[in-house]
Structure 1
């Protein structure tokens, strides 16, 4: 067997830690970019069509990275994490961005003309959650401090609970009005913003499982 074959075989069987963790960090960064831009849109609700187009580009970038994760998984014989963990984490990260993008597209499609304090607060909680996700994802590269991962996961869960409260207050306020069409539109938007925090919690659950299993 020549040297080239030996090197090729080594690349095939050795866990490609860097590739997977680099991709996860890129995904987390892209998710956070989407959350940052969501706050820009909601707090400065102008030129919505172009803003939604920019958000779609961010979402598309997240899809591309997720696809790279799946491709890498399909061609890597030995992985640094369980294949199921890799797949679950990629899917959970992608789901956050899908809901962030989907809600902005929904706002434009519904013809929403202005945002309100409930939307702004939910967007803020989404951003705080994605920042925690960013940090926690970086910690699983080495996992020398599983408790640190768990602390970020606990904070994500706390933020999701706060989002539940905001949603409840938003729905209560909404049903105090008489405009049925507005109720339907805004209820969908509030709920989908809250689901984005649920998806952050899904990521936290995957990260917590990884921290426990590999500590």
Structure 2
């Protein structure tokens, strides 16, 4: 039993999870470019896949006596990056519910979010052996969150130039999903910075 526990590779699981989350955000970008049923459904497929990996990681944390990273940090990191996939699917779902088309603002923010997801994946790939590399990449992710926040406020400002209340309410909700997702990416970067200081 102890041999099984020692053989668990949390770094590999984090990389796997980050890859699927990155794919979910990439799928969101594809949907924003061409909002077909198939492309929207694929975001849900990746979101469910990310949830499955996260559940596996949490189960492994709970049955392992010693983890290479503080178990609370490991849990928080896995939960935080998973939120990116959750927001990706929520965005698709509400675009459908509100019966609107993704606009240039949503596409721009989704592309910035993809850059953040790419950066978080690189962080996971470097986490075991290249702590300086993680710190550098996590700092880039945090800067991207600032960039997306600017995009968010620009999109809201332009939205309020119209008198169409229904449009304002619908698009503001969708834009907010992107902004919240970026916040989770930023929080993930903070956790990674904390982890590399402790390792």
TM-score when scaled to structure 1? 0.88
2:70 is the counterpart of 1:82: yes
Q: Deviations over 1:6-28 (max 9, x none)?
A: xx44444x3x4x52111111110
Greater than 4 Å deviation, 4+ residue runs: none
Deviation of 1:197 after TM superposition, in Å, equals 1.2
CA distance in structure 2 between the aligned counterparts of 1:36 and 1:129, rounded to whole angstroms = 11
Cα-Cα RMSD: 1.3
Gaps of 5+ in 1: 1-7
| Aligned equivalent of 1:110 | 98
Query: In terms of Rg, which structure is larger?
Result: 1
Deviation at 1:180, TM superposition (A): 0.4
Q: Shift in Å at residue 146 of structure 1?
A: 2.0
The answer to whether the 8 A contact 2:25-2:84 is kept is no
130, 135, 146: which one aligns with 1:161 = 146
- Residues 35, 123 of structure 1: 8 Å contact kept: yes
The answer to whether 1:20 aligns with 2:10 is: yes
Secondary structure, in 3 states, of the residue corresponding to 1:79? coil
**Partners of 1:61 and 1:160 in 2: CA distance:** 25
Q: Please list every run of 5 or more consecutive structure 2 residues that lacks an aligned counterpart in the other structure.
A: none
What SS does the aligned partner of 1:115 have?
coil
Count of residue correspondences? 199
